[in-house]
Structure 1
Amino acid sequence: MTLPPNEYSRPSNWQDFERLSIALLSAAYETRMRRWGSAGQRKNGVDAWAKAADGRVIALRIEGRTERYGQALAPADIDVALAEAASFPHPVDEFIVLSAGPDDAGVQAHTAALTARRKTAGQSSVVVWGWPTICTHIGQQPKVRNVFYGHEVQSSPKRKLALLAAAFLIVAGGAGSLFLGKNAIDASKATPPNAAANVGNIAANLEELTGTYRQCQALLDKNVFTFTHELAETCRDPAASQLAALSKKVDRQKSGFDAQVQAELARLLAIFHEDVREAVALTSVAHAFDTAVVQSMKDGCAPGAANQRNSPAVKQAGAAAVTAQLRYYYLLKDFVIPEMAVATEILQLHASGAPSPEKMKAAAGRMEQLLTERTAYAPRETRWPFTASSAKHETTRDAAPGAEQQSDTREEALWRGVLAQSSTQSLRGRSKDIDALIACGALKEDARALAQPGS
């Protein structure tokens, strides 16, 4: 049994966080992460590292050893981390920064841009795992979960109720109406100059972000399975970039809002950051499947080795990824996109300069209902996840595939279709893996085209 994402207790100190991080990454990469330097003392900007079975070098930087433990990172922190890690003596393929603080859309956008530039220059990728992302990975590693959180999993029903209640109060901003009570309506009658124009400007950015989520839903809708590069290009990266821009705009213009609007924007941004975190976690699960596929192809390079792409481990990774995509599809369709529409409506009401109390109350009620239902949403378990994904545009989130579709034969056929696609799709953007597979004869020279973005 696993806890829902972000429901694992954060370690109370950096030392325990370091131990958890090293254990988690060791399990995720199926290798032993080794401390670089003495315990608790960073060397060359790196806390731990390992060489994976496929030859990739992974370096970890575990933030928060000072009084900043648990605080959010900023883009400048990533720049400092990379500058310090430049002296690390081994050529790094993946540089992972772990933080006990929250995920941040601005940091995600910054690292995505850095990775694009660094890959072009033959340098490592850069990834940041905030605590919510780390929780998602904990849920995927049973051994780590049982060692560090076995007691919490056993007591999860009671704990879940407490956490959901706390989360609801945080998002809601306290008891009463979710966003707009009488005080908010009264305050809107005395707003600073240009407040309506500023709020309207924010609403326009929100519509752009909504458009990205619609494109992401359309992508998931047309595919039984969506691979990492598509999720990154259509869902994760644009959403992170647009939310970072929106957050900066809110920060720059906050002096032009009254206190109540500032509070509402802060609550809305908290929801939007969770939406982006979901996209980051979704892409991470797909990446784990791609990595499993590529590793199975490399395993087949050994003399006399059989093709392992249809191994139980690869299929399990594929099932986990498609299940996550199915969940995210309904999350977008039933919650995220409707929430964005209500948030836009709330801001547009403020931008009108004289919002109707009745309309304000109705919008607040719709948002409250959406968030309540979203908090309670738990995907239906199924033994046919690929079948369920193929029929998602015809069903609701709580419905199972029709009886005529529920068969192991259909499920296997859909899985084999995904597996066939993975021979190219899982390789996109992975130049070193492609080089290794060409060298062993598993791929032809023209496969190098897969390493290019948009190929």
Structure 2
Amino acid sequence: MIAAGIVVVSYAIDERRASAKISAASVKDLQEFVRSTDDLERAYSSCQTMLEKHMFAFSHDIKNSCTGPISKKINEVTLQVERLGASLDAASWSEIDEISKLMLEDSRQGLIALEMTGGFEDEVVRSLKDMCAKVKDEDLFASRNKSIYEAGRSAMIAQLNYFFTIRDFILPALDSMKARVLVQARSVVSESIPDNMIKKANLLSNILHDRKNFELEVPKQPFTLSVIKDRSSRNIKISAGEGFDFIEQARWQQVLVNSRVESLRGRSDDIESLISCGVLKQEARKLMSEPVR
């Protein structure tokens, strides 16, 4: 009987030790996920700040402040989510896994915005090269102006879609995901859970639902909307009156003027070609090495 009692006690001690190890491992996984999520949240916040600052972001802005930093961080979070399966309850893990996949898809919105912005810049550079011709082709000039505007407008809409996705879904989702994980971590170590943390954690389902149903309605005045995007609803509709059309065209002209400089950054061959044909002055070479804004 004594021997049997010793075996039972020994088994119970071993079980508690094993449970403690599992709990410690779970807490470590949860803490690492929170750290990775914090890093991703900072990267997205920096991107949002840049997009708020500029009515129209050029490709170097998007690369430096958005797609570059975010692509590194989002892969870390995706890997962390895979490890959380054993540390979270099934329902929480399922929602976090689903929204992390959505965020991975949303990160491609940044790549789309980058690609479309780059396409606009290509059109601008081509229009500058058209000016090298000794005989001006009016039809080509008109056609190029139209293609530049269409490319610029498409890029602006892509940037707006990316901005609203970050502001209204990605950042709130990251905050709620962290809360879910922190609730679990506190439960593992039997710590009290603040009400505001529980409230944030419970928002995840609604964010997931709203994100799945979000599709940006193409704005009629995207450049005008971009100026006020930081204080506007993603569903805002701007009146298409005559006055607004004038403002929209003025905003577009502002982007177009800036694009003739910003589109040339880092394009050494294009700059040399435009200098040699007389479209650009020698001073334009500073754009080859000038730090981006």
TM-score (norm 2): 0.78
Deviation at 1:433, TM superposition (A): 2.0
- Match for 1:343: what amino acid? M
1:300 touches 1:306 (CA, 8 Å); kept in 2?
A: no
Q: Are 2:267 and 1:430 aligned?
A: yes
Cα separation, partners in 2 of 1:453 and 1:263, compared to 1, 3 Å:
farther
Deviations, residues 95-125 of structure 1 (Å, cap 9, x unaligned): xxxxxxxxxxxxxxxxxxxxxxxxxxxxxxx
- Match for 1:433: what amino acid? D
The CA distance in 1 between the partners of 2:211 and 2:102, in whole Å, is 11
Structure 2 match to 1:410: 247
Deviations, residues 2-27 of structure 1 (Å, cap 9, x unaligned): xxxxxxxxxxxxxxxxxxxxxxxxxx
The CA distance in 1 between the partners of 2:266 and 2:213, in whole Å, is 37
- Match for 2:119: what amino acid? A
- Match for 2:246: what amino acid? T
The CA distance in 2 between the partners of 1:300 and 1:391, in whole Å, is 35
- Match for 2:170: what amino acid? V
Structure 2 match to 1:323: 157
1:192 touches 1:256 (CA, 8 Å); kept in 2?
A: no
Q: Which of 305, 313, 327 pairs up with 2:136?
A: 305
Structure 2 match to 1:258: 87
* Structure 1 residue runs without a partner (length 5+): 1-187
Q: Within 5 Å, give how 1:107-146 maps onto structure 2.
A: none
Deviations, residues 121-164 of structure 1 (Å, cap 9, x unaligned): xxxxxxxxxxxxxxxxxxxxxxxxxxxxxxxxxxxxxxxxxxxx
Cα separation, partners in 2 of 1:394 and 1:374, compared to 1, 3 Å:
same
Q: Within 5 Å, give how 1:154-169 maps onto structure 2.
A: none
The CA distance in 2 between the partners of 1:249 and 1:449, in whole Å, is 44
SS at match of 1:193: helix
Asked which structure has the greater RCO (Cα within 8 Å, sep 6+), the reply is 2
Cα separation, partners in 2 of 1:330 and 1:341, compared to 1, 3 Å:
same
Deviation at 1:213, TM superposition (A): 1.1
- Match for 1:258: what amino acid? S
Q: Within 5 Å, give how 1:226-265 maps onto structure 2.
A: 226-247=57-78, 254=83, 257-258=86-87, 260=89, 263-264=93-94
The CA distance in 1 between the partners of 2:106 and 2:163, in whole Å, is 12
Q: Which of 269, 276, 287 pairs up with 1:450?
A: 287
Cα separation, partners in 2 of 1:228 and 1:369, compared to 1, 3 Å:
same
TM-score (norm 1): 0.52
Deviation at 1:236, TM superposition (A): 0.5
Aligned length: 266
Q: CA-atom RMSD, angstroms?
A: 3.2
Between Structure 1 and Structure 2, whose CA radius of gyration is higher?
A: 2
Identity of aligned residues (%): 27
Structure 2 match to 1:380: 217
Higher helix share: 2
Deviations, residues 21-60 of structure 1 (Å, cap 9, x unaligned): xxxxxxxxxxxxxxxxxxxxxxxxxxxxxxxxxxxxxxxx
1:195 touches 1:256 (CA, 8 Å); kept in 2?
A: no
